[in-house]
Structure 1
Amino acid sequence: MFYAVTTSKYDASVMVTASHLPAHKNGYKIFVRDSKYKARCLEKGEVKALLEDADVDNDYSEDEKDDRDDVTIPTLQTVLDFVPIYQSQLIETFRKRTCRIRPLKKLKVMLSTGHGSGFIVSRAFQELGANVVELNAEPDGTFPFGPPNPESKSMMKRTIKRCEEIGDVDLAVLLDTDGDRCGIVLRSGGTYKEVNRNRLIALCSQIVLEKDGDSNAKIITDSVTSIGLESFISRAGGTQLRFKKGYLNVINEAKRRSALGEEIPLAMETSGHGAFKENNYCDDGTYTALLVACFIADNNNGKGVIEDFEDAGYEEELRMAVKESYDKTNLYEQIALAVTKDATSIEGWELDPLNKEGIRVTTHTRDGFFMIRESLHDPIISMQIEAPSPRLGREVVAMVRQIVQAALDGGDQKLDFKELDSVVNEDGAEVGW
């Protein structure tokens, strides 16, 4: 729908989508013309204003209803199947970018789309020369394995298992329901490795920084990225700027800084949403997938790619669900106040001054961190943690659990600590300090 506005006579387009969200959050994405970036997605406030202008309640007086009955509603004049146009544009883009007709020849690619819409990129991979193997490509809105999600451990596990069964797959691409998020599996020797979240941002950063060659280039990410990612981007010649969670927040910050003259080749969230300046900051997982595939093909089928990326010894995202009718923001503010106070008194802990949302505390003398923030959409307070080892990670979780419980009067009645407690109680971790 983004491309339909940029390359056609249409002023706007509407996409019906659920992405990876549950059915009750089905909705629309609305794209309009934009003079600088050719197209953009309407934001929450704009959609609200649009609905108000459209008077969606249809609460008309009898006279107004009579007037509306006289209005002639124009009928649809043309049915346009834009998918083949979109596919052809992707093919032409990457032929021009690589200066080759078949830049992916000799590359065997598994396309794992979980019965979502990502299967439409198969033609582009094939015409660019790849040998494509499809996994769960048939469209099925019931999603028998759950809505496809590149962050999903089960989807990644199914994809790797199928790669191992086939044996000679060079690259696997995971796409979410509506194809705007991407994950990768790379073959390394005789094993297959996950490349999503921080590793995917690292890979995409390497691609754009090698091409860009600008020592002032900045990569905009969300707020929960790892310590290893910041080091990797720095070694690759760029600078990471952590912003807020939410892919549109990340993209808009990239656009804002770009408009001020800064070089921002990539805006990417750990969820797999990626937007490249060269693609007008369009949030397109299929573009990401093809860009990565071309890079892998040019680098000995991925051998040695991001091998120096430093994974944390332990990392986890833990969720505390808000119970009953308690106010999420109020609980979060109480927790944030307590964490801010205690972080200044615990040895090895330090508040992160560059953090843009929530509370982020570096631990183990900056070799780890934890972050507490409100969920964007759900009644959840989230804790992201990274530590040098599982044991040290469990100790931090236990300490945070105690701080949060002490900050809330009747904390167990207000928050569900199940995920934190499962970590704390694993392998006999000691609670408190």
Structure 2
Amino acid sequence: EIGKSIENSKEEINIVGSIEKIDINKIYMDYLKKKFKNLEGDGIRVAVDSGNGCAGVIVPNLLKELGFNVIELFSEPDGRFPNHHPDPTKIETLKILRETVVKNKIHVGFAYDGDVDRIGVVDEKGIIIPGDIIGLILAEDIISKYPKGVKVIGEVKNSDVFFTHIRKIGGIPIMWKTGHSLIKKKMKEEDALLAAEMSGHIFIRDDYFGFDDAIYTTLRFLKIVKDLIKKGEKLSKRVSKFLKNYSTPEIRIELPKEDIKLEIVEKFKRQFEELFGNEVVEKIMIDGVRLSLKNGWILLRSSNTQPVLVLRGEAESKEKLDYYMNKLKTWVFKEIENYTN
């Protein structure tokens, strides 16, 4: 629009413009170093897997300048991603980081996606911390700073532990639709200070701008890790109290046609009571169908961008989880077969 207004303008432009070169990386790093001037690394050992993405330009040097002892993995930006795909939620992506953390007795390890808006974290035992639990650990810190209930948003795929623990410690949990643009909009509507997705998108409005900046999230998380170390507590101990239930990862089922995903979800809305009967405690329809059950929960939703159905579940025992998920998957595959025959 600006270009068109200039082209269509009848006024003669006779002003000579100028070009100013700005080192935006330095400005950004200086901003964060000033903001976290009291976050001294004190030799805390950190592993950073930049996955040959943009994180390698900033994160390793920033942490070193703050006094952390950093082991770097794949810091050189390379759009071919020769070492592994830069997805911090995938177990195979985090294999080398996990091994590095355990072998070198690292306190915490971080991984990033290509454009550094998603984060992955592993504790000192090499255990992967899911995105919602990363958010929950940050929520504990943020909620403790405010006398009144802090609103925290979690996507519909997040663990029950995310919502129940936030409520337990005085926060106000809000479940919302999957998708970082939808989450950001909801944060603004609710005036929430934090939001977290399973995918590793973490949005912090407490003393920040509220967008998913994984580098800023790293520094906030390191502050918590440092406080734990001071108290003689390991990160793994903090994480373990949130990982007592059994859960599935995000299960993605590709469909032969785009248009059937919504039809299948709508049909499940009509039939879930036949399938789960008096096991159903609550139904949540904000994004697909999430059923709270007597011993856990299940989710069926359609992908926002692909011909894919997304399933997830959680239960108090592996037996219950298998029972719930087998029942759900059997129903889904039968429906897909009906649409393809």
Smaller-chain TM-score bracket: 0.7 to 0.9
Name the SS for the 1:154 alignment partner: coil
Match of 2:168?
A: 235
Aligned position for 1:309: 242
- The equivalent of 2:276 in structure 1 is 346
Deviation at 1:339, TM superposition (A): 4.5
Q: Among residues 17, 34, 44, which one is paired with 1:92 in the alignment?
A: 34
Paired AA for residue 123 in structure 1: N
Distance across 2 between alignment mates of 1:349 and 1:72: 75
Matching residue within 191, 204, 207 for 2:141: 207
2:79 — aligned with what?
Answer: 141
Distance in 2 separating the partners of 1:104 and 1:231: 33
Correspondent of 1:132 among 70, 82, 90: 70
Alignment partner of 1:268 out of 196, 211, 214: 196
Report the TM-score when normalising by structure 1.
0.70
**Are 2:88 and 2:120, in contact at CA under 8 Å, matched by a contact in 1?**
yes
- Whether the 8 Å contact between 2:131 and 2:201 is mirrored in structure 1 is no
Distance 1:73 1:275 in 2: 42
Specify the alignment match of 1:332 in structure 2. 262
Residue of structure 2 aligned with 1:197, choices 121, 131, 137:
131
Measure the CA separation in 2 of the matches of 1:348 and 1:75: 72
Work out whether residues 156 and 287 of structure 2, in 8 Å CA contact, stay in contact via their aligned partners in 1. Answer: yes
Kindly tell me: are residues 290 and 338 of structure 1, through their superposed partners in 2, closer, same or farther at Cα, counting changes over 3 Å? Answer: closer
- Equivalent residue of 1:149, what SS? coil
Aligned AA (1:149): D
- Letter of the aligned partner of 1:104 in structure 2? G
Taking the aligned partners of 1:145 and 1:156, their CA distance within structure 2 comes to 11
Give runs of aligned pairs for residues 91-130 of structure 1, distance below 5 A: 91-95=33-37, 100=38, 102-119=39-56, 120-130=58-68
Amino acid aligned to 1:121: V
- Structure 1 gaps, min length 5: 1-49, 56-63, 259-263, 415-433
Displacement of 1:74 after TM fit? 8.5
Q: Once the two structures are superposed, what CA deviation does each residue of 1:295-353 show, in whole Å capped at 9, x if it has no partner? A: 11122265243442143223232222121xx333x442234323532325634432744
- Could you report, residue by residue, the CA deviation over 1:27-78 in whole angstroms, capped at 9, with x for unpaired residues? xxxxxxxxxxxxxxxxxxxxxxx7xx878xxxxxxxx99x9xx999997712
The equivalences for 1:27-426 within 5 A come to 77-95=19-37, 100=38, 102-119=39-56, 120-166=58-104, 168-187=105-124, 191-214=125-148, 216-258=149-191, 264-277=192-205, 278-300=207-229, 303=234, 304-323=237-256, 326-328=257-259, 330-343=260-273, 346-350=276-280, 352-363=282-293, 365=294, 367-407=295-335, 410-411=338-339, 413=340
The one-character-per-residue Cα deviations of 1:191-210 (angstroms, maximum 9, x if unpaired) are 33222322212111112112
Give the counterpart letter for 1:266 in structure 2.
L
Deviates more, 1:289-298 or 1:231-240: 231-240
DSSP-derived class of the 1:147 partner:
coil
Distance 1:245 1:54, change over 3 A: farther
Contact residue 340 and residue 351 of structure 1 kept, 8 A: no
C-alpha distance in 2, partners of 1:108/1:125?
Answer: 10
- Contiguous gaps of at least 5 residues in structure 2: none
Structure 1 pair 394/71, CA: closer, same or farther in 2 (3 Å)? Answer: farther
> Matched residues in 2 for 1:146 and 1:354: separation?
37
**Could you tell me how far 1:133 is from its partner in structure 2?**
1.2
Q: CA deviation at 1:225?
A: 0.6
1:268/1:346 CA distance change after superposition, 3 Å: closer
DSSP 3-state at the match of 2:126:
strand
Do the aligned partners of residues 371 and 345 (structure 1) sit closer, same or farther apart at CA in structure 2, a change above 3 Å counting?
Answer: closer
- 8 Å CA contact 2:203–2:212 kept in 1: the answer is yes
Residues 178, 75 of structure 1: alpha-carbon distance in 2 compared, 3 angstrom cutoff: farther
Question: Structure 1 residue 211: deviation in Å?
Answer: 2.4
Letter in 2 for 1:269: E
SS of aligned partner of 2:93:
helix
Q: Does the residue aligned with 1:410 lie in a helix, a strand or coil?
A: helix
Question: Structure 1 residue 116: deviation in Å?
Answer: 0.8
**Secondary structure, in 3 states, of the residue corresponding to 1:132?**
strand
Q: How far does residue 114 in structure 1 lie from its aligned partner after superposition? A: 0.8
Task: Mark the CA change 1:186 to 1:327 in structure 2 (over 3 Å): closer, same or farther.
Answer: closer
Please identify, of 243-252 and 122-131, the stretch whose mean Cα deviation from structure 2 is larger. 122-131
Q: In the aligned structure 2, how far is the partner of 1:281 from the partner of 1:221?
A: 14
| Equivalent position amino acid for 1:248 in 2 | S
Counterparts in 2 of 1:231 and 1:76: CA distance versus 1, 3 Å: same
Letter in 2 for 1:77: I
The one-letter code of the counterpart of 2:180 is Y
Q: Distance in 2 between matches of 1:91 and 1:155?
A: 29
CA distance in 2, matches of 1:239, 1:344: 33
Question: Which region of structure 1 is more displaced relative to structure 2, 297-306 or 81-90?
Answer: 297-306
Q: What is the aligned-residue RMSD (CA, Å)?
A: 2.8
